Chains A and B, each alone.
Chain A
Amino acid sequence: MNNVSDITLDALVAEVLKKKNDGWRFVTLSCTELDEESCDILYHFDKDLASSHFRLKAPKATPIPSISSVYFSAFLVENEIQDQFNLKFDGLAVDFERTLLLDEEVTTTPFCRYGVSRANQ
């Protein structure tokens, strides 16, 4: 993968806003669990068929600022990540509170190998 730059939680929203102002189209996020403590989130953007990515190492215990205030379309994938990885996005435009894909009675987070459950929160 080319054109990947690391980003921190503090700088995330401001950097994403810069992307938007530079005319980049938001594509999606890709989240991968790294270990018990953290996940790797890639923010994918497109401009005239060129791709650019931000890589955020997100601690599971710390809420991540939502970028849905910058790109409204991000709310859907951020909700999906909440469902699958038990991460929390702050300031979501529409927050399904982990019921976008899963039923309310599901207490596990299916994409976490370490079996984090909602009951542990």
Chain B
Amino acid sequence: MKTIVPFGPQHPVLPEPIHLNLEVENEIVTGAIPAIGYVHRGLEKLCEIRDFNQMIQVCERVCGICSAIHAQCYCQCIEEMMGVEVPDRARYLRTIWGELHRMHSHLLWLGLFADSFGFESLFMQCWKIREKVMDIMEATTGNRVVISVNIVGGVRRNLDPEQIRWVLSELKFVEEGVKSVEAALLEDYTVKRRLKGKGVLTKEDALLLGAAGPTLRGSNVAQDMRQLGYAAYGEIGFEPVVEPDGDSYSRNKVRFRETLQSIELVRRAIDKLPEGDISVKVKGRPEGEVYHRVEQPRGECVYYLRGNGSKNLERLRIRTPTFANIPPLLTMLPGSELADVPVLILSIDPCVSCTER
């Protein structure tokens, strides 16, 4: 007999509200219909009353967890529209803070994911490691999450040699911490039983359904927007992390490996950090249209901007990675046991405030 089981919007594993109507037959999910709209803020509309510089602060607040990368993408769009050449040092600094954001986002998720399958000590351990990353951001920018370093034309903060030495020494602790949880996250018998073969998304489905980020790369698709070479990624050597199986375990492993990769990318960016200015003065107003993509911790983020030469943009459109990962989630759920649904939902690392803007 078919039953409709409402899941969410409030649920112990969900940090943000999303609702799913699950069609269930004998504890097996046969279909799912999503319902969103609980935290829609209409942020895109603000571009009509806030000028293009003020909109940086708005974009940072689309999502706290990846605020720096939202601001970076927006600034890169405006710079492309206005033909602004950003100083090399600013491009590298953007890369460093972007990767620190990826690290803390992945560590936050690894903890929440562990909590979703009942591994509370692992949750606490991941968040303890994450605190080190937050300390680095606070010490280098003055803020822990919404770090507000990006401006049109570069960045507003610099790193001095002493800070760089300190960041590198702190990253050693982060790296050791991440490696210390590897066995529990990837080798533990119970964890494997909860994740292996669960919520399989094939490579073909991932591409067809427009999956993004670790959800896409966990299905054996080597696609990461950092391959486009924006900021300093074209100069520090970057290869996407890919796992072949398409299940929850693969998505978990991609994020774990990407955390270590981010530490390495920060080191490379620091190693090659050029001397010079961190910003250029920008004159004029944005005109024309631009389409730009960056890789956020959750995946490909798309910005489309249209300007008419006034201080306000005509249109700001943001497609966040979770928005792209909802249709793949609807494909993963049918066939799974009801008890696995929370883990499957968390496996796409949903960010609902991002999705609804």
A100 at the B interface (CB under 8 A): yes
Task: Give the Cβ gap from A120 to chain B, nearest Cβ, in Å.
Answer: 20
Number of residue pairs A-B, CB distance < 8 angstroms:
76
8 A Cβ contacts from B317-349 to A: 317, 319, 323-324, 326-328
Nearest-neighbor residue (CB-CB) of A25 within chain B? B207
Please indicate the chain B residues that have their CB under 8 angstroms from the CB of A31 in the complex.
317
Please indicate the chain A residues that have their CB under 8 angstroms from the CB of B291 in the complex.
1, 30, 42, 44, 51, 53
Task: Give the Cβ gap from B134 to chain A, nearest Cβ, in Å.
Answer: 31
8 A Cβ contacts from A96-118 to B: 96, 99-103, 110-111, 113
Q: How large is the interface on B (under 10, 10 to 19, 20 to 34, 35 or more residues)?
A: 35 or more
Q: How far is the CA of A6 from the CA of B289 in the complex (A)?
A: 15
**Contact between B326 and A76 (Cβ–Cβ < 8 Å)?**
yes
Please indicate the chain A residues that have their CB under 8 angstroms from the CB of B209 in the complex.
71-73
Please indicate the chain B residues that have their CB under 8 angstroms from the CB of A110 in the complex.
42, 45
Please indicate the chain A residues that have their CB under 8 angstroms from the CB of B44 in the complex.
111
Please indicate the chain B residues that have their CB under 8 angstroms from the CB of A100 in the complex.
36-37
Nearest-neighbor residue (CB-CB) of B33 within chain A? A94
A contacts with B, residue count (CB < 8 A): 31
8 A Cβ contacts from A17-54 to B: 20, 25-28, 30-32, 42, 44, 48-49, 51, 53
A77 at the B interface (CB under 8 A): yes
From A26, A28, A32, A44, contact of B315 by CB (8 A): A32
Nearest-neighbor residue (CB-CB) of A31 within chain B? B317
A89 at the B interface (CB under 8 A): no
B290 at the A interface (CB under 8 A): yes
**Contact between A1 and B289 (Cβ–Cβ < 8 Å)?**
yes
**Contact between B315 and A1 (Cβ–Cβ < 8 Å)?**
no
Task: Give the Cβ gap from B8 to chain A, nearest Cβ, in Å.
Answer: 16
Q: How far is the CA of A58 from the CA of B314 in the complex (A)?
A: 18
**Contact between A76 and B327 (Cβ–Cβ < 8 Å)?**
yes
Quick one: given A71-B210, A101-B37, A101-B40, are A49 and B302 in contact (CB under 8 Å)?
A: no
Please indicate the chain B residues that have their CB under 8 angstroms from the CB of A48 in the complex.
223
Quick one: given A1-B289, A101-B356, A102-B40, are A73 and B45 in contact (CB under 8 Å)?
A: no
B208 at the A interface (CB under 8 A): yes
Q: How far is the CA of A61 from the CA of B292 in the complex (A)?
A: 31
Please indicate the chain B residues that have their CB under 8 angstroms from the CB of A49 in the complex.
223, 225, 227-228
**Contact between B302 and A27 (Cβ–Cβ < 8 Å)?**
yes
From B33, B37, B314, B327, contact of A32 by CB (8 A): B314
Nearest-neighbor residue (CB-CB) of B227 within chain A? A49
21 contacts between A and B (CB under 8 A): A1-B289, A1-B291, A28-B210, A30-B304, A30-B315, A30-B317, A30-B319, A31-B317, A32-B306, A42-B291, A42-B304, A44-B291, A49-B223, A71-B209, A73-B210, A76-B323, A94-B33, A99-B37, A102-B37, A103-B37, A110-B45
Which B residues are within 8 Å of any A CB, using their own CB? 33, 35-37, 40, 42, 44-45, 48, 207-210, 223, 225, 227-228, 289-291, 293, 300, 302, 304, 306, 314-315, 317, 319, 323-324, 326-328, 356
Give the 7 A-B residue pairs with the shortest CB-CB distance, closest first. A73-B327, A28-B319, A30-B304, A73-B210, A101-B40, A32-B315, A30-B317
